[in-house]
Amino acid sequence: MMMTFNLALRNLLRNRRRSLATLLGMAIGSSAILLFGGFKVNIGHEMQTTHVQKDGHLQIQHRDFYLYGSGNPIAYGISNYQNLLAAINGDEILRDLVLVATPALQFGGIAGNYSASVSRTVIGHGYVAEDINRMRQWNDFGLRSKAPLSAMEGSSPDAAVVGTGVARVLQLCDALKIDQCPKPVQQAKSDGEAMPDDIAQLGMLEKPPAGTSGPSGAPKIEVLVVNARGAPNVASLQVIRAEDQGIKELDEVSMIMHLERLQQLVYGRSTPKATSIMLQLRRSEQMPVARARLQPILDRFSVDQPLTILDFQELNPFFVQTMLMFDTIFGFVFLLIGSIVLFTVSNTMNTTVVERTVEIGTLRAIGLRRGGILRLFVLEGALLGVFGAVLGAVLALVLSVAINHSGMTWLPPASVAPLPFTISVWGQNSMIFGTTFGLIVIATLSAWWPAYRAARLDVVDALRHV
């Protein structure tokens, strides 16, 4: 076998130009596959990090909240959520897995700018501001992009953050210093769409509690929500910042408040609830263990209310669909480049067989069997595959480092700021070995048919070949 290997290697070196051209073609194809795969991996890491920073790895919700909660989120609140949080934080295993466990309350209402006589519907959330900023610091994949911290931490109880679309409709662009926010044409003729009379009247009656004034110069809006008893309730809030949500439909309805203030608005003196408990883990691969550990705890608290656990993939089907799309594209790219490799190696080996017909006849004449000829040419194709695929992997690793340090940025969909252009090839061992092995197999198989034809040549015809 060693003699066959040495002979195959020497045969490749005899035709250096052809072998080098084939190797470079395979190397470029292999590096292209790996670079695209690294780009796909980085997109997955960016999207997963964004979802985990915003919603956590796992969420505990009422069983029907995900499907029906958008219509009336208050109806699916979790009772006694404080004790549930205490049980999670007190569990000896979850204590080491959970980085942040925090409640959230979703609501739907109408926000109005009384001074401009405009209003619009909003879908908001109440959060614990300190916990939200801790969640935004999660970066398990070591990404170079950083999520901005929420302005809610340290702000007054009546502070609120809205989407830039909400601020635009409520005519808060000048007060919040929002760029690219032109005034509507109708504003030159009128003050805008009139605020509903019920909101205007309630807004005039609403007075912020003493000592809760917002930052100097922050615009004030009124928010109308329906409380737990079905009655309307209005709060006067100070808008301290407008944050672009990346998606226009979400940007035009988004509002964030302090959890405690929202609970006062919705539940009054009744026992407050939360529509979800967000759990952010230290590492994403800990989700199965954490989920299994959470289930017995949920069983104890599900006697009077059906509770369930949803992970970030179930909460964000767009993430799953996007990754499936990129997996399909990656497979298609691999198929295309694999086909090119197949025909390149096959053409090289066919040419080699034709040029070495007399040599094949000589080897057969001195006693080398057909199996030996077959092994020789298949081994040559396999060596081309090994050297080409390995060279491509090395080239992809070098290029990924160069690209990651080039300072290039790009603006992906649903992103509000340019992100560093990153290709994650280093550390993706399964992708590297899988691509390398796949191309070696393709090169070996593409050499089989020319090798089979060479082995089937008649000795006499081969010796008299000109």
Judgement on whether residues 188 and 270 belong to the same structural domain of the protein: yes
User: What pLDDT band is residue 192 in, cutting at 50, 70 and 90?
Assistant: very low
Judgement on whether residues 447 and 387 belong to the same structural domain of the protein: yes
The pLDDT score that the predictor gives to residue 458 is 82
The yes-or-no verdict on residue 187 having pLDDT over 60 is no
Q: Where are the alpha helices (DSSP H) in 302-428?
A: 312-315, 317-355, 357-365, 370-404
User: What pLDDT band is residue 51 in, cutting at 50, 70 and 90?
Assistant: very high
Last residue of a domain, one of 239, 271, 305: 305
For residue 208, being part of any structural domain is answered with yes
Judgement on whether residues 116 and 182 belong to the same structural domain of the protein: yes
> What is the β-pairing status of strands 118-127 and 307-311?
unpaired
User: What pLDDT band is residue 368 in, cutting at 50, 70 and 90?
Assistant: confident
Last residue of a domain, one of 278, 305, 332: 305
What is d(CA 274, CA 263) in angstroms, rounded to the nearest whole number?
A: 8
Average pLDDT, stretch 125-150? 93
Judgement on whether residues 141 and 18 belong to the same structural domain of the protein: no
User: What pLDDT band is residue 391 in, cutting at 50, 70 and 90?
Assistant: very high
Instruction: Kindly give, in sequence order, each residue whose CB lies less than 8 Å from that of residue 180, ignoring residues fewer than 6 positions away.
Output: none
Q: Phi and psi dihedrals of 32, rounded to 5?
A: -65, -40
The pLDDT score that the predictor gives to residue 186 is 62
The answer to whether the CB of 241 falls within 8 A of the CB of 176 is yes
For residue 35, being part of any structural domain is answered with yes
The pLDDT score that the predictor gives to residue 1 is 66
For the chain, what percent of residues have pLDDT higher than 90? 64
Question: Residues 421-464: pLDDT tens digits?
Answer: 999 999 999 999 999 999 999 999 999 998 888 888 888 777 87
Instruction: Kindly give, in sequence order, each residue whose CB lies less than 8 Å from that of residue 261, ignoring residues fewer than 6 positions away.
Output: 126, 157, 158, 235
What is d(CA 348, CA 382) in angstroms, rounded to the nearest whole number?
A: 12
Judgement on whether residues 31 and 69 belong to the same structural domain of the protein: no
Tokens (6 digits) for 191 = 């003050």
The yes-or-no verdict on residue 365 having pLDDT over 90 is no
The pLDDT score that the predictor gives to residue 266 is 93
Helix, strand, coil share of the chain (percent; to 5) = 55, 15, 30
Average pLDDT, stretch 212-219? 59
For residue 301, being part of any structural domain is answered with yes
The yes-or-no verdict on residue 212 having pLDDT over 50 is no
**Total structural domains within the chain:** 2
User: What pLDDT band is residue 247 in, cutting at 50, 70 and 90?
Assistant: confident
For residue 314, being part of any structural domain is answered with no
Average pLDDT, stretch 67-90? 93
Closest CA to 278 of 56, 50, 98: 56
Judgement on whether residues 275 and 348 belong to the same structural domain of the protein: no
In our burial notation (b when 16+ CB lie closer than 10 A, e otherwise), range 229-254 reads eeeebbbbbbbbbbbbbebeeebbbb
Judgement on whether residues 101 and 180 belong to the same structural domain of the protein: yes
The pLDDT score that the predictor gives to residue 189 is 45
The pLDDT score that the predictor gives to residue 58 is 97
Judgement on whether residues 275 and 360 belong to the same structural domain of the protein: no
Average pLDDT, stretch 77-85? 94
For residue 231, being part of any structural domain is answered with yes
For residue 372, being part of any structural domain is answered with yes
Judgement on whether residues 158 and 206 belong to the same structural domain of the protein: yes
CA angle, residues 330, 334, 339, in degrees to nearest 5: 150
The mean of the pLDDT values for the chain is 88
- The more confidently predicted of residues 147 and 392 is 392
Question: Residues 9-18: pLDDT tens digits?
Answer: 887 888 888 8
If one counts every other C-beta atom within 10 angstroms of the C-beta of residue 63, the result is: 14
What DSSP assignment string belongs to 59-121? EEEETTHHHHTTT-GGGGPBTTHHHHHHHHHH-TTHHHHEEEEEEEEEEEEEEEETTTTEEEE
- The more confidently predicted of residues 436 and 373 is 436
- The more confidently predicted of residues 273 and 454 is 273
Domain with 454 in it: 2-47+320-463
The pLDDT score that the predictor gives to residue 85 is 96
The answer to whether the CB of 409 falls within 8 A of the CB of 347 is no
The yes-or-no verdict on residue 201 having pLDDT over 70 is no
The pLDDT score that the predictor gives to residue 243 is 92
The yes-or-no verdict on residue 38 having pLDDT over 80 is yes
User: What pLDDT band is residue 53 in, cutting at 50, 70 and 90?
Assistant: very high
The pLDDT score that the predictor gives to residue 230 is 83
The yes-or-no verdict on residue 354 having pLDDT over 90 is no
The yes-or-no verdict on residue 211 having pLDDT over 60 is no
Judgement on whether residues 171 and 281 belong to the same structural domain of the protein: yes
Judgement on whether residues 261 and 346 belong to the same structural domain of the protein: no
The yes-or-no verdict on residue 185 having pLDDT over 80 is no
Average pLDDT, stretch 244-254? 90
Judgement on whether residues 268 and 326 belong to the same structural domain of the protein: no
Last residue of a domain, one of 270, 305, 340: 305
Q: Tell me, rounded to whole angstroms, the distance of Cα 91 from its chain centroid.
A: 30
For residue 56, being part of any structural domain is answered with no
For residue 55, being part of any structural domain is answered with no
